[in-house]
Structure formats: structure tokens, C-alpha cells
Amino acid sequence: MTHRPVEDGIALSTSATPAKTAAIAGKSTALRIVATGQNTFVAIGTEPTATTANYAIPKDSAATLAFSNSSASIVAYEKGTTTTLTFPEGTTCPFAAGDYVTFTNNINSDFNFAHQVVNSVTGDGSMYNYIPTKVVIGYNSSAVSGTLDCSAGTCTIRSSFKVSARTDAGTGAAYIQQIQITGEA
């Protein structure tokens, strides 16, 4: 089996006190984690705290863990004390209230945000209101100046998560990399 790296990897110092990564925008469905120095326990979630009851990676070895991932294009960005994002016509929202998401665009990074909670999923107010076409994010974008035109397909929302790791004793390191598994080598 071969692995294709996705994005940059993350190095996390580990000890018997849990440590946590910054938010990671999901761009694959697999994480490769290498644990050095000590046995390492990892947890993946919105705000995880690793315990010795979590997934164990023996010292100086690696594990590949699967995780759920969703993403979608966005065609409209509405600023306010919460931020409303609209999905393209004919698509629906792959997220649910309580999920965490990261928004990026390649036009104006001032509009980007990382690891914010989905407050609700709504319709467009028409007769098709039962189709979830908008998502309301608990991100205050009211201070961002200007407007953002997402109509050219340049705006993306992705599920996001964090990884927490700890050792059973002593110190070590965890190296975390999103990967794609590409088949036999």
C-alpha cells in the first residue's frame, strides 16, 4: 500500500499531559500518525482530550486511522454576527448542527475562518424549504470589510477536527499527516 500526503504534516510534542493540534481542515479520509519515544494515545474530534483509554499507538510505530470528511462549494457568503453560507443550486448541505467547519477562498483571505461550529442548516425560504441549501455558522464576520463573490467556484467549506495525543509516561512526539491510500506499491 502506498500513501499520498495531503497538505503539510503536523508535529506534536507529547507527554502524560494531553496536547492538541490546531484545527485541521479535512482533505482526505485517512490520518497517518507516527508515535516516537513513548506509547501514545490519540483522540480525534472537535475538541478532543486524549486519555489512556483512547486509540493506542505503540512507541516508535505508526498507525493509519480513518475519519469522516465532508466538503462543499459555496456560492454566497452573508456576513453578520453569524455567517450564512449558501450552497450551489441542486446541491444540499453535507453538514449538521454541531459539526465544525473551516471556510477558505482564494480571493480575500479576510473572509476565511477555521474550526467554527455549525449552528443550523436551513432552506432558502421557498417551496423547497425542506432542502437544506444554507448553513449558519457561529462565526462573527460583521467586522470583515467588503464583499466576497463566491460565484466563480472559489469558495469551499470543509469539515474540521483536531487531534489530541498523550503518552502513558515520559515524553515523545506524534507526527500527524493526512494521506490518501493509493493501493499496492
Query: What CATH number has the domain bearing residue 11?
Result: 2.60.120
Q: Residue 161 has what pLDDT?
A: 95
One domain for residues 42 and 83: no
One domain for residues 81 and 132: yes
Q: Residue 125 has what pLDDT?
A: 60
Q: Residue 169 has what pLDDT?
A: 94
Query: What CATH number has the domain bearing residue 139?
Result: 2.40.30
One domain for residues 76 and 150: yes
One domain for residues 38 and 27: yes
One domain for residues 145 and 97: yes
Q: Residue 151 has what pLDDT?
A: 82
One domain for residues 9 and 57: yes
Taking the whole predicted model, whether its pTM rises above 0.75 is answered as yes
The label of the residue with cell 453569524 reads 82
Q: What is the mean pLDDT of the chain?
A: 92
User: Is residue 127 over pLDDT 60?
Assistant: no
Domain range spanning residue 122?
71-158
Euclidean distance between CA atoms 92 and 86, whole angstroms? 9
One domain for residues 62 and 8: yes
Domain count, the chain: 2
Retrieve residue 37's grid coordinates: 519515544
The amino acid occupying position 9 is G
Q: Residue 114 has what pLDDT?
A: 96
One domain for residues 121 and 45: no
One domain for residues 175 and 143: no
One domain for residues 146 and 175: no
β-bridge mates for residue 156, sequence order: 73, 104
One domain for residues 75 and 58: no
One domain for residues 42 and 89: no
Kind of pairing between the strands at 40-45 and 100-105: unpaired
Average pLDDT over residues 5-32: 95
